[in-house]
Structure 1
Amino acid sequence: MPRTVSRLLLASLGLGALGLAGCSAETTAQLGRLGLPVAASDRSPYTHHLWIGSWIAAFGVGLLVWGMIIWCVVRYRRRKPGVPRQNRYNLPIEILYTVTPFIMIGVLFYFTVLTQDKVQAKVQHPDHVVTVVAQKWNWSFNYEEADNPDVGTATWESGTIEQPANLYLPVGESVRFNLKSVDVIHSFWVPAFYEKLDVVPGRNNSLDLTPTKEGVFAGKCAELCGTYHSAMLFNVHIVSKQEFIAHMKELEAKGQTGQLRTLQNPDAVPQRPESKQEGR
């Protein structure tokens, strides 16, 4: 029996290695991250390390449990006819499987709190501040750049169901997101940031981070907020500082300056077509 198990294990490892050899570099890299997307912020490594560590612990527990099962199957397999001797209690084993889960939960909780503190740490003087406004059924972004000598004015842009919003951020510069909602609870989530935060009406939530990788990344609402929840998408453009300033100038040229009036007037942002028909 042990020899058979060893052969099966070696065969499984061989097939796994063969399968990985046929994967693309991108797929292999994602497997190395255990499913996480490409990281794009300075806070991502903290969550990444917690994620990988949790999987290592899970694999360790799994190997231990399966090892004990296989050992019991081999060690205590029936050798003689008849019913084997029955044991009702085993106090050491019962103590083990009662105490061990509490130890595991305590260790995971400890590292989760450490990671949370690092991810949610605030920057004393962020380089940029963006007010994020969530409403049914898309997003608005107010760039608070009035004190930025390279821009000199606050600008904004909004999205609709048909045309998702775009959020522009400069790479390598810290950003504070002030999150606000005009109706129900939403959730601001950019998977590449490895972080999300609820957007709650009447409550001022905020998160700080520094984008670290140029490119276009998906953003979405991670809270089931209603009928058109699936339409609450936006695109995050992480660009150079020069491109960011140029985009702010484009918004200024379009007349999209000042503060959004969305919080006082939800209709300042285009609503879904049905809402217009209902108002007629």
Structure 2
Amino acid sequence: MKLMALAAAVLVLSGCSPVDDTDVKRLALPVAGSDRTDPMWNLWLGAWIAVLIVFVLVFGGMVYAMVRYRRRSDDEVPAQVRYNLPIEALYTIAPIIVVAVFFFHTVTSQNDMLKEVKNPDHTVTVVGSKWQWGFNYLDEDATQGDDVFDSGTPADPAELWLPVNESVRFELRSPDVIHSFWIPEFYFKMDVVPGRQNSFDLTPTREGTFTGRCAELCGLYHSRMLFEVHVVPRGEYDQHLSELKAAGDVGAPEGASEADQIAGLNEGTKQDEDVQEGAGN
């Protein structure tokens, strides 16, 4: 009976998909929106199957023990033992095997998701600072030689524009504290660490407007550190970059010039100068 129930449950889970219309069939994940979602989906699905197997075995064993060794009508106490070596070996070795299998598949999925694109179509420098995002588009062809940027504030979140089905390299920078760049539909996030140049590549595969956010507790306005993601056809992407240039948003977003330095540990940064000016006043 347990095996039949387990087989049926696994069969149901095998019919789930990251692009299904319902949350239940997506196992509570958002609809997939990048080429890096398959490794994460497979890991997530495997975790659900593993949890289901453990649940059925443990709960089934508990029910079996309660029925098989329940107190009889003659009020006779079941035989008492001090230990059971096979059972003790099982609940010691089995968790080690489960953790080892999870570790193997986690590392494998991580390596697949972090594979670099040899020549990405676009490069975007992401600057996370307290408490806003800035995006510098390093696309010289689209802007006739000038890099342009989107930026925002907690009251007016920044926008990130990406062309659908074209690879993008994200270079992550922070001038202050650790942030985390996360777009849920991409099934991917990475920390933005001061003094460390993290980067990753992916290709957006679904047009739409998504909400990105900071996934690392970074201070007072962490919950308002949001940004809006627009995945659009290439023509709309080029038009947006041209609009940024016409509006004068050329160069790098505020904070980007200090993004490779750690505030307070380097002289001559804009933040240090602001502090000195404030002290003088």
Give the structure-1-normalised TM-score: 0.83
Structure 2, unpaired ranges of 5+: 10-18, 260-274
Per-residue deviation, 1:259: 2.9
Task: Please say if 1:110 is aligned against 2:104.
Answer: yes
Q: Which residue of 2 aligns with 1:65?
A: 58
After superposition, where does 1:39-188 map in structure 2 within 5 Å? 39-79=32-72, 80-146=74-140, 148=141, 152-188=145-181
Letter of the 1:202 counterpart: G
- State how far apart, in whole Å, the 2-side matches of 1:89 and 1:220 are: 52
Per-residue deviation, 1:151: 5.2
Per-residue deviation, 1:33: 1.3
Letter of the 2:148 counterpart: T
Write the deviation string for residues 63-113 of structure 1: whole angstroms up to 9, x where unpaired.
111111111111111113143221111111111110000111111111111
- State how far apart, in whole Å, the 1-side matches of 2:213 and 2:93 are: 40
Cα contact 1:167–1:236 (8 A) shared by 2 = yes
- State how far apart, in whole Å, the 2-side matches of 1:28 and 1:171 are: 21
SS in 1 for 2:81: coil
Q: Which residue of 2 aligns with 1:259?
A: 252
Write the deviation string for residues 205-246 of structure 1: whole angstroms up to 9, x where unpaired.
001000000000110000000001111000100000000000
Structure 1, unpaired ranges of 5+: 3-8, 14-25, 267-274
Give the structure-2-normalised TM-score: 0.83
Identity of aligned residues (%): 51
Q: Which residue of 2 aligns with 1:20?
A: none
After superposition, where does 1:19-58 map in structure 2 within 5 Å? 29-58=22-51
- Higher helix proportion (structure 1 or 2): 1
Task: Please say if 1:221 is aligned against 2:218.
Answer: no
- State how far apart, in whole Å, the 2-side matches of 1:252 and 1:264 are: 19
Task: Please say if 1:231 is aligned against 2:227.
Answer: no
SS in 2 for 1:217: strand
Distance 1:185 1:150, change over 3 A: closer
Count of equivalent residues: 249
Per-residue deviation, 1:183: 0.6
Cα contact 2:178–2:192 (8 A) shared by 1 = yes
